Amino acid sequence: MLNTKFRKDFTIAIKTFPKTWKFIRENRMLKYFLVPALLALILFGTTGYLIYEFVPNLVYWISDLFGYDDWQFKGSGIIEKVLNFILGLGMIVASGSIFFITYRYIVLIVLSPFLAWIAEKTERIITGKEYSFSTAQFMNDILRGIRMNLRNFIREIPLTLVLLVLGFIPIIGIIAPILIFITSAYYAGFGLIDMYLERQRMSVGESVKVVQSHRGLALGIGAIFNLLLAIPILGVMISPLFSVITATLAVLETEETLLENAKREG
């Protein structure tokens, strides 16, 4: 029963993906891509600047700490250059990895009001449902979104680090990248589904229970987000908006079941 439900939810998420582009074009929402694109450019620029400024200094500091920059024998200069290159490349790769791991949470927190508005707009176009605006409720929603994303971040990162370590173990290391992708996708989908549950005035605890009962939906939506994010340069610009609209369309398709689960858990 659970497996059937998981497959059904996952299939709904994946089948919604091709409908999203059509929905965006028909409702003239292309202009909204500019907001996440601008944030992506700022984050890219900041990350690039920090790498440019600090990586060379860190490499020189490490070479001085271990003293291999003072080696005086035939070929020592070549060895120093090779070590510095490996160190620098490793730091750049590590910085890039940290950027992509944290990018999703930065987007979901910084762009939370904007993405929530896009999700609400999508729901209004589909259902005609209007939500009344309250400044106090708006601020509460922002704080709630931050709490939810911090909760997911605290759970995802340690698990990801454990899987990274397991990746160095023979045989187990083969499936570690797959497990990391699944973990990341689940929590990405979690955050996107929560934007709908937030509008239903669910608490963090209630939202957690509902998403846990729809893991297939969360995983499917998050997989779409991660695959879009993997597209060089363009991915960080289009993935937030595209994914939140996909999530809203998919959630509306399973709305009745979601709300039934919410009442049961409540």
d(CA 39, CA 36): 5
In a domain, 164, yes or no: yes
Query: Is 49 a domain residue?
Result: no
**Domain containing 174: what range?**
2-40+102-265
* Within a domain: 136: yes
Torsion sign (Cα): 220, 223, 227, 233: positive
Assess if residue 93 is contained within a domain: no
Please count the structural domains in the chain. Answer: 1
Tokens 């992708």 belong to residue: 181
Reading the block at residue 93, the tokens are: 């790769």
Q: Which pTM was predicted?
A: 0.80
Please indicate, yes or no, if residue 45 is contained in any of the structural domains: no
Q: Judge whether 178 lies within some domain.
A: yes
In whole angstroms, give the CA distance from residue 17 to residue 147.
Answer: 28
**88 falls within a domain:** no
Sign of CA dihedral 203, 255, 196, 193: positive
**Are the C-beta atoms of 219 and 249 separated by less than 8 Å?**
no
Residue 138 belongs to some domain of the structure: yes
Distance (Å, whole) CA 102 – CA 247: 20
pLDDT in tens, the chain (266 residues): 457 888 899 999 999 999 999 999 999 999 999 998 888 888 878 878 888 888 888 888 877 777 766 777 777 778 778 887 888 887 777 777 777 777 888 888 888 888 888 988 999 998 888 887 777 777 887 888 888 888 888 998 888 888 878 877 777 778 888 888 899 999 999 999 998 888 888 888 888 888 888 899 999 999 999 999 888 888 888 899 999 999 999 988 886 566 555 555 55
